[in-house]
Amino acid sequence: MGIFWSIYQSVMIDFFTTDNTTRLLPVYRQFLEEHVYPIEREVISRPFRQSLTQLQKLREKAKEQGLFVPHLPKEDNGPGLSLIEFAQVSELLGTTPIGHFIFNCQAPDIGNMELMHAFAAPHLNDTYLKPLQRGEIRSCFAMTEPEFAGSNPVLMGTTAVRNGDDYIINGHKWFTSSADGASFTIVMAATDAASSNPYERASMILVPLPHPGVKLLRNIPVMGESGEDYMSHGELQFTDCRVPLSNIIGEEGKGFALAQARLGPGRIHHCMRWIGICQRAFDLMCQYAASRSLGGQRMLGHQQVIQFWIAESKANIQAARLMVLHTAAAMDKFGARAVKEEISTIKFFVARVLMDVLDKAIQVHGALGITDDTILAYWFRHERAARIYDGPDEVHKASLAKSILKKYGLKFERL
Amino acid sequence: MGIFWSIYQSVMIDFFTTDNTTRLLPVYRQFLEEHVYPIEREVISRPFRQSLTQLQKLREKAKEQGLFVPHLPKEDNGPGLSLIEFAQVSELLGTTPIGHFIFNCQAPDIGNMELMHAFAAPHLNDTYLKPLQRGEIRSCFAMTEPEFAGSNPVLMGTTAVRNGDDYIINGHKWFTSSADGASFTIVMAATDAASSNPYERASMILVPLPHPGVKLLRNIPVMGESGEDYMSHGELQFTDCRVPLSNIIGEEGKGFALAQARLGPGRIHHCMRWIGICQRAFDLMCQYAASRSLGGQRMLGHQQVIQFWIAESKANIQAARLMVLHTAAAMDKFGARAVKEEISTIKFFVARVLMDVLDKAIQVHGALGITDDTILAYWFRHERAARIYDGPDEVHKASLAKSILKKYGLKFERL
Amino acid sequence: MGIFWSIYQSVMIDFFTTDNTTRLLPVYRQFLEEHVYPIEREVISRPFRQSLTQLQKLREKAKEQGLFVPHLPKEDNGPGLSLIEFAQVSELLGTTPIGHFIFNCQAPDIGNMELMHAFAAPHLNDTYLKPLQRGEIRSCFAMTEPEFAGSNPVLMGTTAVRNGDDYIINGHKWFTSSADGASFTIVMAATDAASSNPYERASMILVPLPHPGVKLLRNIPVMGESGEDYMSHGELQFTDCRVPLSNIIGEEGKGFALAQARLGPGRIHHCMRWIGICQRAFDLMCQYAASRSLGGQRMLGHQQVIQFWIAESKANIQAARLMVLHTAAAMDKFGARAVKEEISTIKFFVARVLMDVLDKAIQVHGALGITDDTILAYWFRHERAARIYDGPDEVHKASLAKSILKKYGLKFERL
Amino acid sequence: MGIFWSIYQSVMIDFFTTDNTTRLLPVYRQFLEEHVYPIEREVISRPFRQSLTQLQKLREKAKEQGLFVPHLPKEDNGPGLSLIEFAQVSELLGTTPIGHFIFNCQAPDIGNMELMHAFAAPHLNDTYLKPLQRGEIRSCFAMTEPEFAGSNPVLMGTTAVRNGDDYIINGHKWFTSSADGASFTIVMAATDAASSNPYERASMILVPLPHPGVKLLRNIPVMGESGEDYMSHGELQFTDCRVPLSNIIGEEGKGFALAQARLGPGRIHHCMRWIGICQRAFDLMCQYAASRSLGGQRMLGHQQVIQFWIAESKANIQAARLMVLHTAAAMDKFGARAVKEEISTIKFFVARVLMDVLDKAIQVHGALGITDDTILAYWFRHERAARIYDGPDEVHKASLAKSILKKYGLKFERL
């Protein structure tokens, strides 16, 4: 793994180096090398609950070293990093499938933390956000519905009807990641389905779990694995699910605005992590190419076509990283609204690079590449979703193009 | 599924229509629609042994209708099809993951049947080939070794040493598909490792299973699934495994020649099946595009980019099918040796189309596409191997190019 | 060039061999090798009129050998080939930029011949079609207008107004290929611009050239060359251009229907020719790869990446050829209407292969590839248009997809 | 063009903004808009010498405004920009085919200026470099030979033999850009062809032009145009060409080292310019998409596939720009040797993006795109060379991969 890091620290990355990254990146690296890489394959190949104790110990260790919740400010016991600094930490954690979980900055919890920190009432934050930040509980986010295309946010079948001091929620959600075992969900539901402004129909409401009105129908089998606990994607039925009106996040009718606010940073978080996956896959590809003999001293890496894959992957990863770091730096400086185009851009650009690098790394490994003897096949099947979740590539491309073409004077009925 | 078949029977396919295909294809189709499509998802999502009884019943039904072993001549109880006819049946069976198994023309058994029919001694055929053809037993083929790159056939660690009237076999094999539960394996082993002609070092030897000298170390976890029985890929250890000299297939030292003879048709069999997968994925993609609403009457299929994927997929599948059918027809007419270039060509061309069509079909389905609620995700992860097994695409491309460049006068040390 | 033909006659092509192709293809080949390849570069690098005398002599020679107008039936002094036979001749002629012209089967004349043969009145055919078939005159086809997107056939600014026994035509056309020096043009003009059926607004009218009402504004500079005579693309101004009503082709208001009838076969003619270009570029690429030294005995063709380009090009060309031949055979058997989807498919599929093969052939040649010392650069710049003329790829993809999706029940306002 | 610049100044570019760029970029922009864009098409469509007077006037104007030679330090009458600053100016100048020429920072002169400034003796610099910097003369660089593959620098047929106080040079060069009308050339020739170190065989020697021993055989026809003067690529014959020994640049035997020193920055100069081309092509594509009607208010830009091209182009250009700017910044900070990998990376990455964006911009324009009525077709044919000159993409990919794989311990006989 020594080579890995020396490759990693290329001349380019220095431009984004700060005192924090200089100090912390080596510490995170050492933690990963000592504690995480050695166990990652075991964790992902057995039912997740069997690893909880082991992972909890690592979380404690991370806390002791001040490495826990790297996205949080110091007042919340995080290291207080800027986004450009966190981007580099997150890329690092992304080099292993269990990195973000151990440091409690994993989706969907990180998104819920950000959302609640910005918009939730203090009583919700005391009860739910604080233990979430401390890693004592997990959460989930129930937005997608199987009956309606997610690319059209106006379509939503779940309703939340006021009844006295309560909302009564009915509806059907799926791809509620990590619902199995979560202590609460934030659910998107139509509170005013008849509103003339379709973007003001929905609200976000916190529902504690387990709850008599919420049934986990199944952990959806995704690419052959239903998974469990954190590593699962739940299908939920809400039936006359009653929660207090005060469980609303932000204002009623602002659900879509909150979703945008939540998803924007969420997308860059995914991108950061994807760069880490790319870098690790690239490293595995180079290691194997340099050491797998085709007979005598002739190695795979002497094959020109494999050299080309390595060169093209290097270029693509570098491009992806620069775009993500740049967007992070711009968000630090100008805020999330200013980089809307950039967020869309990196969402589809990095997802494509990710799938391409994984595919090439697998092909270099040959039959070994499709086994679970490396972690490549895990990412190959689970990150296929990268081009779909948080808005499929196609939605982001159309959105970016429309934003550009509007500057050239083209009219759209609606963006 | 009615639309599926009407689409399927485009004007083009008629050029390859014969009396046999006119008569048999509708019968196979009806069988699939009645008995196979309804159970396919259940079969692939539970341990394979739980389906054996159910599948055995279907095999009996297939036998009754004269549809079993469609690759075999009439004297072996098959329908006696030419390769161009079988290609069309095989494509049809390929539209479901369990099609070939039900009709007993699945790899690796079909390859072993062909190999033994051509080269094995009568006593072996009576004992092993006949029950294999009747679907009473299964077999496997132990060639690949984890320690050596398969792209260099000269490298082989497994040895078979003469000892009296026996061979004693020692070695380590993997990706011995369907070893779990097989009644015999054909193993490739070096019988004369010091031969000056590296292509005459190895032989093929039949080993009955279970055997005290053969240990199934594991079913290799591939893309998250170890599988079992027919649906598995075994890792085998041969330790002083003793079998009679008469268990040799063909002559000693001719192992590589036999492997080529076995793999050539094997590759076109895979290609036929892949076309079937493509066609099914295409059908699912079109169905979903035509019926998934984006709101009101606006459907996914009204999106221009999805129209482009459909058009490009149609073109690519058509190209792939024509190339495969053509190669089959040429094999019928000129024999396997004459179409060596064509076999290499379709191996990499169709595998690429396959992955591309699956990828697009999944993307059209969005989140649904990565679940196991359709069969797309199963193929996406299990057919990633299509670009690797039976020679990675890269080996076939280099081989084809060298064959062409030799005609232009370029010298190679060895092809 | 000997290697070229032996490569060319692969095992595959035999399936489309007929007595006619067996007899004629070698004769055409010999003609090209003796008379055409040696002069092609000279012809395309000087003003076209300087070559007319030389080319006319070759046309006479072609007539003497019965090779002229290979698309025409025997009663019109052609060899009477089926489309599948002509496809193979046309591919052959396509291997040189001046092949079709020499044999008088070049666009746009071939399209006009077919159109007039099917739809024009006898008096027009006596005066115009016969000498056109004999190669005594040339023609052009004025359809595209710079002001209106060709992908929307309803938009047309040119009008033809009845005035006594005449039409008076006014309008502005461009990309009227070969207008410079043509003896007549067929012009598409709105004869009933207000028709409630937008597809019945236009008609086709023959206009003799030169004509006082028609001005050749310029030969449009295309990719750096304005060209002249046959090798040019004219921009025409029609100003009160008066021609007799009897100059109409077919019925009034049927212009769009005629255009479709003309363009369908036109598209497959282009595809046949493109395969020829691909094959020649492939041949040049292989020749150069096999003979260009990188130092000592190490040749370009020993580079793996170049081997891959050759293999991929071989596969793509084979796919393209099979699709075109197949479509031709289907047109012979079922007629043009039955293969509408196939025509769209080959239009975009073959155009893409063409550009890809040319690009790779150039890259293999390095600096030489961008010079006019080979014919690759000529095709690279002039065939970029292949993805645009006769309907851009995008129109054909959308059209094909809509045709497919309609079978799946999807409704479109209009196809 | 106003939209162009507002698009151009995206949030991202600000990270590389300095006082110099803030001050100068708007001035360059205004100059281009007032004086250069209006004449660019005229200049590139007529023989270059007809424009010399006109261009000379613009050069004088540029000098008056302190904009001339933007790559030079203040002591040489340049603005004294860092490379990261010049990169942004150069990108801007690259938006027009005549931008660099007007400001006298065009290849090959800029490379010769840098080479001579670093390595040439004062007497050569007084006589040749100073007037070159003042734009009074032009120069060229004779390295490539038609007989030898440029990718192998050891192969060189041109020799320079000492004879008294002179070198006598014999050899054959081509792609000596701008040789026609140049006042001197720097020629690479073997001074010690038998040296045991193949990288120390050649030297660089300055030859004044015209010279009795140097014949301009032709301006090579490239993509249909031989061009003339600055816009040409010469083929030169050196026959007993005698120049003083003191005309050597640097030391004897150091030709390859100097070539590397010259080509490294040369490559980033090309990349900067290519980004400018991309940006302009992107702007033209967006303008056309936003304004070309498909009928009524439906514009090209409402087509989803065109939106996708715009989005993907935006992403790719942004990636390319960030990589180039980053490399420039790294060169400023660490020097050229430290960014060898990055130079190779941007060479092939940006060239690919360039060709892709030009191709899409042309396709959006339809038939107009292949005419010379826009500048896209000029770039399409002339920048095809971008993937070939200064080392084909393939050489850079292999070189980058080998550099990476060496870090992973893979041995190469020689890099």
DSSP assignments along C99-149, one per residue: HHHHTT--TTHHHHHHHHHHHS-HHHIIIIIHHHHTTS--EEEE---TTS-
With CA atoms as reference, the chain D residue closest to B308 would be: D305
Interface of A with D in 277-296 (CB under 8 A): 286-287, 289-291
- Say what the pLDDT of residue D198 is: 85
Q: Which pLDDT band holds residue B380 (cuts at 50, 70, 90)? A: very high
pLDDT reading at B262 higher than 90: no
Interface of A with D in 315-334 (CB under 8 A): 315, 318-320, 322-323, 326, 329-330, 334
Residues written for chain A: 415
pLDDT in tens, A10-46: 555 577 889 999 999 999 999 999 999 999 999 999 9
Q: Which residues have a Cβ under 8 Å from the Cβ of A289 and sit 6 or more positions away?
A: A299, A300, A301, A306, A310, A364, D405, D408, D410
For B261, C309, D69, the CA distances from B324, given in Å and listed in that order, are: 18, 21, 61
Query: Strands C184-190 and C139-142: what pairing?
Result: parallel
Nearest to B362, CA basis, from B299, B288, B295: B288
The token pair that represents A357 in the structure block = 């690098």
D414 touches C at CB < 8 Å: no
Classify B138 as helix, strand or coil. Answer: coil
b/e string for C106-135 if b means 16 or more Cβ within 10 A?
bbbbbbbbbbbeebbeeebbeebbeebbeb
Residue located via tokens 């006109």 = D54
In angstroms, rounded to a whole number, what is the distance separating the alpha carbons of residues B285 and B311?
11
Lowest mean pLDDT among A247-261, B6-20, B228-242, C188-202: B6-20
Yes or no: say if B99 and B36 are a contact pair by the CB < 8 Å rule.
yes
- Say what the pLDDT of residue D10 is: 53
- In the predicted model, what is the mean pLDDT of residues D329-344? 90
Q: Which pLDDT band holds residue D13 (cuts at 50, 70, 90)? A: low
Nearest to C157, CA basis, from C82, C90, C236, C99: C236
In angstroms, the first-to-last Cα distance of chain C is 47
- Say what the pLDDT of residue D262 is: 82
Interchain proximity C305–A303, CB inside 8 Å: no
Average pLDDT taken over every residue of chain D: 93
pLDDT reading at C261 higher than 90: no
b/e string for D180-198 if b means 16 or more Cβ within 10 A?
bbbbbbbbbbbbbeeeeeb
Yes or no: say if A295 and B152 are a contact pair by the CB < 8 Å rule.
yes
In angstroms, rounded to a whole number, what is the distance separating the alpha carbons of residues C204 and C171?
14
Q: CATH 1.20.140.10 occupies which residues in chain B?
A: 257-407
Nearest to B110, CA basis, from B155, B152, B154, B68: B68
Neighbours of chain B (3+ CB pairs under 8 A): A, C, D
Return the H-helix or E-strand segment holding D263.
helix D255-291
Give the closest-approach CA distance of B366 to chain C in angstroms. Answer: 18
Question: What DSSP string describes B338-364?
Answer: GGHHHHHHHHHHHHHHHHHHHHHHHHH
pLDDT reading at D14 higher than 80: no
- In the predicted model, what is the mean pLDDT of residues C248-273? 90
The alpha carbon of residue B289 and the mean position of all alpha carbons in its chain are separated, in whole angstroms, by 30
With CA atoms as reference, the chain D residue closest to A346 would be: D315
pLDDT reading at C2 higher than 80: no
- In the predicted model, what is the mean pLDDT of residues D41-67? 97
Interchain proximity A394–B303, CB inside 8 Å: yes
Selected residue of A305, A307, A309 to mutate for chain C interface (largest C Cβ count, 10 A)? A305
Interface of D with C in 354-383 (CB under 8 A): 362-363, 366-373, 377-378, 380-381
Q: What residues of chain C lie within 8 A of the CB of D149, using their CB?
A: 292-295, 300, 366
The token pair that represents C13 in the structure block = 């092509």
pLDDT reading at C223 higher than 60: yes
In angstroms, rounded to a whole number, what is the distance separating the alpha carbons of residues C363 and A22?
44
Interface of B with A in 7-46 (CB under 8 A): 45
Selected residue of C294, C303, C305, C360 to mutate for chain A interface (largest A Cβ count, 10 A)? C305
Q: Which residues have a Cβ under 8 Å from the Cβ of D414 and sit 6 or more positions away?
A: none
Q: Which residues have a Cβ under 8 Å from the Cβ of B19 and sit 6 or more positions away?
A: none
Q: Which residues have a Cβ under 8 Å from the Cβ of A397 and sit 6 or more positions away?
A: A344, A348, D307, D308, D311, D312
Average pLDDT taken over every residue of chain A: 93
Interchain proximity A303–C304, CB inside 8 Å: yes
Interchain proximity D378–C221, CB inside 8 Å: no
- In the predicted model, what is the mean pLDDT of residues C368-372? 97
In angstroms, rounded to a whole number, what is the distance separating the alpha carbons of residues A396 and A411?
18
- Say what the pLDDT of residue D271 is: 97
Return the H-helix or E-strand segment holding A122.
helix A122-124
% of residues, chain C, pLDDT over 70? 96
The 8-class DSSP code of residue A220 comes to P
- In the predicted model, what is the mean pLDDT of residues A338-362? 96
- Say what the pLDDT of residue C64 is: 96
Residues written for chain B: 415
Interface of C with B in 378-397 (CB under 8 A): 394, 396-397
Interchain proximity D12–A412, CB inside 8 Å: no
- Say what the pLDDT of residue C149 is: 84
A400 touches D at CB < 8 Å: yes
pLDDT in tens, D242-268: 999 999 999 999 999 999 888 777 889
D308 touches B at CB < 8 Å: yes
Q: Where are the beta strands (DSSP E) in B178-287?
A: 184-190, 202-208, 214-219, 227-228, 231-244, 248-249
Q: Where are the beta strands (DSSP E) in A68-183?
A: 139-142, 159-163, 166-177
Q: Is the dihedral of CA B394, B396, B398, B400 positive or negative?
A: negative
CATH dotted code for C139-249: 2.40.110.10
- In the predicted model, what is the mean pLDDT of residues A193-215? 94
Q: What residues of chain C lie within 8 A of the CB of D45, using their CB?
A: 221
Give the closest-approach CA distance of A297 to chain C in angstroms. Answer: 18
Classify B13 as helix, strand or coil. Answer: helix
Which homologous superfamily is A257-407 in? Butyryl-CoA Dehydrogenase, subunit A, domain 3 (1.20.140.10)
pLDDT in tens, B285-298: 999 999 999 988 99
Query: Strands D184-190 and D139-142: what pairing?
Result: parallel
- Say what the pLDDT of residue A5 is: 54
Nearest to C3, CA basis, from C355, C248, C291: C291
Interchain proximity D222–C370, CB inside 8 Å: yes
CATH 3.10.20.810 fits B2-111, yes or no: no
In angstroms, rounded to a whole number, what is the distance separating the alpha carbons of residues B318 and C346?
10
Residue located via tokens 């659910």 = A187
In angstroms, rounded to a whole number, what is the distance separating the alpha carbons of residues B72 and B285?
34
Interchain proximity C311–B405, CB inside 8 Å: no
Yes or no: say if A151 and A389 are a contact pair by the CB < 8 Å rule.
no
CB atoms closer than 10 angstroms to residue C307: 25
Highest mean pLDDT among A78-92, A144-158, A255-269, D187-201: A78-92
Average pLDDT taken over every residue of chain B: 93
Nearest to A249, CA basis, from A176, A185, A175: A185
Residue located via tokens 């180039």 = D324
In angstroms, rounded to a whole number, what is the distance separating the alpha carbons of residues B22 and B27?
9
- Say what the pLDDT of residue D415 is: 38
Q: CATH 1.10.540.10 occupies which residues in chain A?
A: 2-111
The token pair that represents C323 in the structure block = 């699709």
Dihedrals phi, psi of D242, to nearest 5 degrees? -105, 125
Complex ipTM: 0.96
In angstroms, rounded to a whole number, what is the distance separating the alpha carbons of residues C323 and C342?
8
A305 touches C at CB < 8 Å: yes
Neighbours of chain A (3+ CB pairs under 8 A): B, C, D
**Phi-psi map region of A233: left, alpha, beta (phi>0 left; psi -120 to 50 alpha):** beta
Q: Which pLDDT band holds residue D214 (cuts at 50, 70, 90)? A: very high
- Say what the pLDDT of residue A260 is: 86
Residue located via tokens 């939503």 = A156
Interchain proximity C409–B302, CB inside 8 Å: no
Neighbours of chain D (3+ CB pairs under 8 A): A, B, C
- Say what the pLDDT of residue B415 is: 38
Q: Which residues have a Cβ under 8 Å from the Cβ of D363 and sit 6 or more positions away?
A: C387, C388, C392, C393, C394, D309, D369
Interchain proximity D300–C384, CB inside 8 Å: no
Interface of C with D in 146-185 (CB under 8 A): 146, 149-152, 154-155, 174-175
Q: How many CB pairs under 8 A join A and C?
A: 8
**Phi-psi map region of C174: left, alpha, beta (phi>0 left; psi -120 to 50 alpha):** beta
